[in-house]
Structure 1
Amino acid sequence: MPRAGLDARTVTEAGAALADEIGLAGLSMGAVAERLGVKTPSLYKHVASLADLQHRIAVLATTEAGDAMRDATQGRAGQEALTGAAHALRDYVTAHPGRYA
């Protein structure tokens, strides 16, 4: 039975945070499990594989970056909107280098 509070989103967010710290290339299921305080096999109840986790992190990053750019362009047009979107994306990538990779 899955641990209370552990679900695909929790595993993905933990993986994304860890990727920001150590880089996406260094990410492993074992490292994510250690971060969450569970045994590695427990993760496979929520994500199919490391590749699946990496895909979920990419989707999360795309969504987060898109949200930041959308928020930065609200009420703006033209050059101001483009500049706002570019700055928002740069700020996101700087804050989350692992998940952006």
Structure 2
Amino acid sequence: MKNIRREPKFARDRAVQGAALGALLLMGGFVVAGPSGFIAWTENEHRLSEHERRIQQLSAERERLRNRVALLDPNHADPDLAGELLRSNLNVAHPDEMVMLLPKQP
């Protein structure tokens, strides 16, 4: 009978299995805490909701400015807005007018 030594092959198999297990654990760690893992996914959803809210605010501001620009059209400007801008920017008022400054509303 031949003497078969299996110890070196057995040790090599264990090393390969250990390396495979380490690689699987590393991949599992990336699934949970990697740059596109579960933790990052919830953070990205939170950022997305914040950005969508900011987009809505900026859209409302853009519409307000678009309306104001339309009122300042040189061909047919709104007289009330033109008077308001003249008074606020140039500090112009008639002698009989009383100026009351109100806090700006968002």
In the superposition, the TM-score normalised over structure 2's length comes to 0.28
Q: Of the two, which has the highest radius of gyration?
A: 2
Give 1 or 2: higher helix fraction. 1
In the superposition, the TM-score normalised over structure 1's length comes to 0.30
User: Which structure is higher in RCO with an 8 Å CA cutoff and minimum separation 6?
Assistant: 1
